[in-house]
Structure 1
Amino acid sequence: MSNVVALLPRPGNDASGNLTELVAFYKHNSPFKSKEGWEWGNVYWDVKGICKTQARKAAYELLLYFNRDNQLGANVKTPRTEMLPFHHSELSDVTKCHVTALQIESEKDAGSLQIWINAYRYLDNVLSKSGKRVADISAHDFRLAELEAEKQLAASTFYRIGSKLEGICKFINQKGLARQKITFLKVAKRGETHTNSDSRIDQSSIDERAKKLPSKYSLIAVATLSNADLKGDDALFQSMVEIMFATGLRLDEVVSLDKDCLYEKQIEERNVVTGKQDVFTVHEIRYKAKKGAGFRTKTVADSLVPIVKKGIETALELLSPVREVIEALGQGGYDFFPQLDSGEEVTIAEAGRLLGWSSNSNFQTYLRKRNITINRRPKNVRGKASTVAKILPAELKDATADLGRESAAGLWNTIKKTTVADKLENMLYVTQYQRHHSIKSTEPWKFTLISHTQISDYIAGRPGLGVKSVFERHDLTFEDQSIRLTSHQFRHFLSTMLELCDTVSDIEVARYFGRKYIGDNAAYDHTNKTKKVMDHADDIIASTGISKEQAKEAAILFTLVDKEEALDTIGDLTTTLITSIGLCKHDYNDSPCGKHYACLRGCAEYYRIKGSKTEIDEVLRIREQQKLHVAAAKESVEEEFHNANNWLISHQELLDGCEMALRIENDESIALGERVQVFPEGKTKCEAI
């Protein structure tokens, strides 16, 4: 038997041949082929148990869809039976190769892989119109795909698709699937989409921040419910709300907690005053961070410990019957039908009556789906011969016990990497299918975790479908308006509270919330940046050494800005030059500007203030003058004067710069009086020749 490891085929000069070899390689080595019924050419692949999944979605189907764009708009789905493959069969093969390569490289979330497929769909739309083969694909095709995505998607999603198109371009180049190397860079920049923590005080920005944070009255309502005598499912879901409120954990992190997640820990620290070692006790909660930050612990403030304890104790009590069933199944078996005697056969009618079924036909359908043998036995009555349907209770009990063991093993295999628990019965929020449904009956041998829909219905409801939230059911309103919450608002609230505390660093905030990067704090920071700067304005100004007159000048020239821009502005105040066409940030203490009016030739140091009449008039004067120069230069070019073409290029550059400098006046996103960098992508042109 050969022990040689299969290596990726080396790209040659034949692009089509490279694709054929690549498809053959990934077909043979695909991690998805272990699934029953998997075929390379299928429109969708079942990837459950292979791709990562969220704990709360562990019982859901997990599929990758390789269907073409249905052209029905955002969030409009096509039934699986009506899905069509990509228009371009070669591109479909490239897509499947790329997705397989990503999964082989490291285990991925199905949603992450689906975004790659979605990016390929835009390329598929472009190639379906041009009829090109993958070997003939060019940067222009990528640009057209990006333009189509920009028209259809929100800014943040468009940025992600642009990044994926860059990755697709790199994959095609690496594997030699195109005849020529393709150079493509996305248009969207992350800074244009990331505005969660901006400091604007216009009404739309205020409304946007309000969506992220819970209102004062919603917090009061949550506290009211926490002190109410809730029963059943309301008490269970309230326990999750209490844990999220007190810890800032994500819903997936709460769902995957283990029974012993809260514990006491002794900490020893040296007292800097007495020089002695002080020992004190804190409470910590352990969990598995959702977004790649690994296994984590966080200290729970003493004032919040009773809230967390109450939530955990409620969940332990209400879901203990489920854990007992799972434990019994693991130790041998469990009788899901103690009402039935295991000995002799029993009629369907009698079994249905004992088990509370509404009709014999429904009960028989239910039994057939679970492969329970239904025997037709003759009735012991006079007259016409007839039969009666009977089942053997022992068979029903054994079959459901097997189903229970299979369900528990399958669920644990899916979620064991997302939890600190060592086995399924030690998870805090493991439950049974439809146990919390108001109408449908529970399937006690099918296990799952509390879902996002259940907690969302509890705190937000679904007004369009008549599902009332807990606040509506308990008449908790504010000014006759219903209170609605999302599970993530508590995390935003606690993170913002920490940002307001001057003694907690950014790295400590990120660590406390289980974030992988410090920069992720910005998405949860809804503090008023302007107010924070103004509160420390005296300290900022004192640190720069500028005079009171210069500080007054800065207040007149510049509108309120965030902390970083304020520091940047004040730091540059002593060197900024005010010109007739705007502001030049070149450091004149270091050297003079080497080019007169180079500002308008794409200089990155050039700033304008929107609405400044003197600046507008001067730039307009230069523009009109340049129009005459450009016209004259074009005539010289036509008459073939020596070096006339260089003069035309020079005058046209200055004319284009004037147009750019005036364009901000028509940009509604820029407020009057706002200072704008005219050429953010430009170069510094202040150096002397």
Structure 2
Amino acid sequence: MTLVSSLSSAKNQKRLNHVRSQIKQLKLDVIDEFQALTDSKKVLGEWDDTVWIYKNKNLYFNKPFDQDNKKVSRNTKAKERVPLPPLFSNIIKLYVLCQIKKDKTASAISSDIIANSWLLESISYQENKLITLKQTTLDDVIPLLEKHFKKRGPFERYKEMVRFTKSFLVPNKLVLSFAPKVNMPNPAIAQNNVTSKEYKARNIDKYDAEIDKYLGIVKQRFDEDTRRIKAKKPALYPEPKKGYDELRLLAIPFLFAFGLRIGELCRLTKDCLQYDEINERWYLNVLTEKGELPTARPIPRLWQEILIESHKRILQITGEFRAFAKQVEKTGTQAFIDVLNFDDRPEHVKEALIAEGYDPDIYFLRSEIGLAGDVHSSGLARNSCRHSKHVTGVFADAEVGIIKCRNHGLAPAIQTVLSKEVIAKLAIKIYSGYSQLIYKENLINKKGTDTYSSSSFSAEVPFSEHLFIVKDEFFHGGSNSLGFIPKPMTAKAVVNWITEDTSRSKTVFKRYGIIDGEGKCVSFSSHQFRHWLTTALMRSGKNEMMIDLFMGRKAGQSRQYDHRTAKERAEAIRQKYMGDNVPDDALGRRVLRMRENNVSLDEIETALNHTLSVVHFTPWGTCNRDLDVSPCEKGMMCLRGEQGKGCQHFGIDTSDIEAKQSIINTKAHYENQLSALLPNYQNLNEKLNNKEPLDQHIQYCIDTINGCESALNAYKKSEEHEAVNINIVQIFNPGVTVNGK
């Protein structure tokens, strides 16, 4: 070993000892905070455990590959996961604790852990590689991510690694100081560019203009089968069981009319429809997701009658299940015991039970349910109460003994005795898990409560008050039982019905033989309803802000759901310039000059059609430049234009709130730059020497700021012209009707 290598080794060892000491100290600093979290039950688990429970979700501290070197997924069992080495586990746990203190969601924290485990995997969990971590180390992970993930997966995980390094590793001196950067293009940028292949692929994945037609065909064939059954003819497309298709078909109008997220649909309450006598309108009360407030959304007139009828029929189908759930809430296990009645029990069975010391009111024979595959009137299936070589029923533990008793009038045989109380205890445990599904899907929920909570609201809704309550076998196509235990309609029950996947149950489109234009069986995701409705609303000329509010989104998000063609967008924008309130931009001023010079409306419209034939979006507004023929070569030209007057091809859509926010952010960015460089830059505009590079940059910043101010003034002028405010969304107060009752 040379002297240089010896010194380098000693230096690395010293650095490694420092990192180990630093991690130990960081742990000592936060261990009391962690103990407080566990004492308050906010976090369940000990520090050295390989899994913590936070907000009803397991946080696993394991490697991204299991014992068999397979990529870990949500279905990977705990015993098959490989724990992180202690030092790296402590680092991740310290980082997780920081996220918990910020009240980050459990799902987001779990995703962060998974993403950063890939960074540790890339350095093979070697401490020497950790202390020498740098930008190239982060960038070297990209091929590994691209190998195992598709679409946005690699970018999102890589971005989290950079954030983890920048916000935790570097500040805590666990790695050498450097400025981590995201050296990977964001695929969302290409996806939002209407001229890109990625945008077209995104449209195919997220939007199908004919989902209404496909589901309409399902409804027609379902109705025809209903008529055939009434006429005592065999159904052409029989339901696996009564209500299997019908209940989900009845839920579809809520998706079409409101574009509800699937979790919002499943959480509708039985009194979700309300009539406001003052405004003479029907409203749908929605517990909105994504941090938005609950809303009472007006029902479009087109859907009013359909929704009222659907709601009425849903209540009829789910009424008995809701009533049973209410009884379980009141009496607990006794509710399950009460439905396990055997009124037609033969006397010899009672006598046989009593003779062996079993109370006939508490115990029964498995044979009383029937033969293999039979179901009791309560929904309890015989198969769920027995052991077999391959399957153990969920109520098999209710077996308490055997007796000799005649079976269906035959000679005495060995009969299995089951305990109603044991079945009830097992059922109430399963019921608790089922009922919590409705609370913890998509919204935060405290374990064991009937409360929804998000970053903006908290609402208590008893399980039995929900609209879509069924039993646990209701959507199981392979079972002839509706089930024994009340259960909510889950997102999975809807998704598996319309989305082709590897599940054993066939989608409704496969069962009804519905194919698309390419001859493939129809399949689409539940989120496509939101894309379908948003695009339909945009095509009808609705204001983007109204669409955002109606759909329960933050302002400006509708653009991500806009699947109109370039021609349709151009037409929508053209109408703005033909109206009275012309946008205050270069094209708008040109239109005003044409009007002042008495140019005919037909000539103005022809000019607009030509100018806007290739219109597309930019982050700050619209651009009517044909980028294929004449590419824009100057950055920020949209806003800068000529000394901040704006590019002649730049258009301002004053209904585009997202673009407005981008303009505000851009203005603040360049103001901060100039303030740091030259606090009095406002007074230097006329003194700049544009031949000098620094002065050129200052002029560039000033022109951009002026362009931003000019664009924001256009928004201000437009707002002054808006004299009428339309109340299209009310705030929904859970538990209170629109009339305050």
Q: TM-score range by the shorter chain?
A: 0.5 to 0.7
Corresponding position of 1:529: 566
Corresponding position of 1:417: 452
1:496 is the counterpart of 2:535: yes
Select the residue among 339, 363, 368 that pairs with 1:336: 339
Q: Give, as a single letter, the amino acid of the residue that structure 2 aligns with 1:289.
A: T
Select the residue among 232, 254, 258 that pairs with 2:243: 232
1:17 is the counterpart of 2:52: no
Distance 1:196 1:245, change over 3 A: farther
Select the residue among 95, 106, 109 that pairs with 1:109: 106
Shift of 1:468: 3.5
TM-score by length of 1: 0.66
Q: Contact between 1:315 and 1:429, CA under 8 Å: does it hold in 2?
A: yes
Corresponding position of 1:38: 45
Corresponding position of 1:562: 616
Inter-partner Cα distance in structure 1 for 2:490 and 2:306: 22
Once the two structures are superposed, residues 599-649 of structure 1 have per-residue CA deviations (whole angstroms, 9 ceiling, x without a partner) of xxxxxx9x9xxxxxxxxxxxxxxxxxxxxxxxxxxxxxxxxxxxxxxxxxx
Q: Secondary structure at the match of 1:297?
A: strand
Shift of 1:501: 3.5
Corresponding position of 1:601: none
Corresponding position of 1:372: 398
Q: Contact between 1:65 and 1:114, CA under 8 Å: does it hold in 2?
A: no
Inter-partner Cα distance in structure 2 for 1:92 and 1:46: 16
1:395 is the counterpart of 2:421: yes
Inter-partner Cα distance in structure 2 for 1:259 and 1:63: 34
Once the two structures are superposed, residues 152-194 of structure 1 have per-residue CA deviations (whole angstroms, 9 ceiling, x without a partner) of 544523332233123212432576242643421212455x424
Q: Secondary structure at the match of 1:22?
A: helix
Q: Contact between 2:45 and 2:53, CA under 8 Å: does it hold in 1?
A: yes
Shift of 1:66: 2.5
Q: Contact between 1:43 and 1:84, CA under 8 Å: does it hold in 2?
A: no
TM-score by length of 2: 0.62
Q: Contact between 1:509 and 1:521, CA under 8 Å: does it hold in 2?
A: yes
Corresponding position of 1:454: 493
1:427 is the counterpart of 2:477: no
Corresponding position of 2:165: 169
Inter-partner Cα distance in structure 1 for 2:633 and 2:104: 53
Inter-partner Cα distance in structure 2 for 1:571 and 1:329: 66
Alignment of 1:195-234 (within 5 A): 195-200=190-195, 205=200, 208-209=203-204, 211-215=206-210, 217-218=213-214, 220-221=216-217, 224=220, 231-234=242-245
Distance 1:206 1:143, change over 3 A: closer
Inter-partner Cα distance in structure 2 for 1:164 and 1:45: 21
Inter-partner Cα distance in structure 2 for 1:469 and 1:506: 34
Distance 1:185 1:542, change over 3 A: closer
Distance 1:154 1:345, change over 3 A: closer
Alignment of 1:78-93 (within 5 A): 79-86=77-84, 88-93=85-90
Q: Contact between 2:318 and 2:468, CA under 8 Å: does it hold in 1?
A: yes
Q: Contact between 2:269 and 2:467, CA under 8 Å: does it hold in 1?
A: yes
Inter-partner Cα distance in structure 2 for 1:451 and 1:297: 22
1:128 is the counterpart of 2:124: yes
Distance 1:361 1:33, change over 3 A: same
1:156 is the counterpart of 2:152: yes
Q: Secondary structure at the match of 2:296?
A: strand
Select the residue among 547, 550, 572 that pairs with 1:512: 550
Inter-partner Cα distance in structure 2 for 1:379 and 1:467: 40
Corresponding position of 2:174: 178
Consecutive unaligned residues in structure 2, runs of 5 or more: 1-16, 227-241, 346-359, 407-411, 440-447, 579-585, 650-696, 704-741
Percent same amino acid among aligned pairs?
15
1:50 is the counterpart of 2:53: no
Distance 1:36 1:260, change over 3 A: same
Q: Give, as a single letter, the amino acid of the residue that structure 2 aligns with 1:311.
A: S
Q: Give, as a single letter, the amino acid of the residue that structure 2 aligns with 1:507.
A: M
1:260 is the counterpart of 2:271: yes
Shift of 1:80: 3.7
Q: Secondary structure at the match of 1:185?
A: coil
Q: Give, as a single letter, the amino acid of the residue that structure 1 aligns with 2:87.
A: E
Inter-partner Cα distance in structure 1 for 2:633 and 2:172: 50
Shift of 1:301: 0.6
Inter-partner Cα distance in structure 2 for 1:469 and 1:441: 18
Q: Contact between 1:19 and 1:94, CA under 8 Å: does it hold in 2?
A: yes
Q: Give, as a single letter, the amino acid of the residue that structure 2 aligns with 1:391.
A: V
Select the residue among 66, 71, 77 that pairs with 2:62: 66
Inter-partner Cα distance in structure 2 for 1:165 and 1:224: 51
Q: Contact between 2:340 and 2:420, CA under 8 Å: does it hold in 1?
A: no
Shift of 1:285: 0.7
Inter-partner Cα distance in structure 1 for 2:368 and 2:608: 89
Corresponding position of 1:248: 259
Q: Give, as a single letter, the amino acid of the residue that structure 2 aligns with 1:343.
A: D
Shift of 1:530: 4.1
Shift of 1:357: 2.8
Inter-partner Cα distance in structure 2 for 1:431 and 1:588: 62
Inter-partner Cα distance in structure 2 for 1:76 and 1:409: 21
Distance 1:198 1:532, change over 3 A: same
| Higher alpha-carbon Rg | 1
Q: Contact between 1:456 and 1:487, CA under 8 Å: does it hold in 2?
A: yes
Alignment of 1:603-682 (within 5 A): none
Once the two structures are superposed, residues 224-249 of structure 1 have per-residue CA deviations (whole angstroms, 9 ceiling, x without a partner) of 35755655211111112121112210
Shift of 1:258: 0.4
State the aligned residue count. Answer: 549
Task: Answer with 249-258 or 429-438: which moved more.
Answer: 429-438
Corresponding position of 1:544: 590
Q: Contact between 2:398 and 2:420, CA under 8 Å: does it hold in 1?
A: no
Shift of 1:363: 8.5
Once the two structures are superposed, residues 471-513 of structure 1 have per-residue CA deviations (whole angstroms, 9 ceiling, x without a partner) of 34334445655333332222111111222233x3322211111
Q: Contact between 1:459 and 1:471, CA under 8 Å: does it hold in 2?
A: yes
Inter-partner Cα distance in structure 2 for 1:588 and 1:393: 82
Corresponding position of 2:141: 145
Distance 1:130 1:435, change over 3 A: same
Distance 1:684 1:129, change over 3 A: farther
Shift of 1:74: 9.4
Q: Contact between 2:470 and 2:489, CA under 8 Å: does it hold in 1?
A: yes
Once the two structures are superposed, residues 357-387 of structure 1 have per-residue CA deviations (whole angstroms, 9 ceiling, x without a partner) of 369953899689564362355789xxxxx99
Q: Contact between 2:364 and 2:418, CA under 8 Å: does it hold in 1?
A: yes
Q: Contact between 1:352 and 1:360, CA under 8 Å: does it hold in 2?
A: no
Q: Contact between 1:471 and 1:477, CA under 8 Å: does it hold in 2?
A: yes
Inter-partner Cα distance in structure 2 for 1:360 and 1:442: 14
Q: Secondary structure at the match of 1:66?
A: coil
Q: Secondary structure at the match of 2:121?
A: helix
Distance 1:116 1:368, change over 3 A: closer
Corresponding position of 1:99: 96
Q: Give, as a single letter, the amino acid of the residue that structure 1 aligns with 2:462.
A: K
Corresponding position of 2:673: none
Shift of 1:46: 4.3
Corresponding position of 2:290: 291
Shift of 1:85: 2.2
Inter-partner Cα distance in structure 1 for 2:37 and 2:132: 27
Alpha carbon RMSD of aligned pairs, Å? 5.0
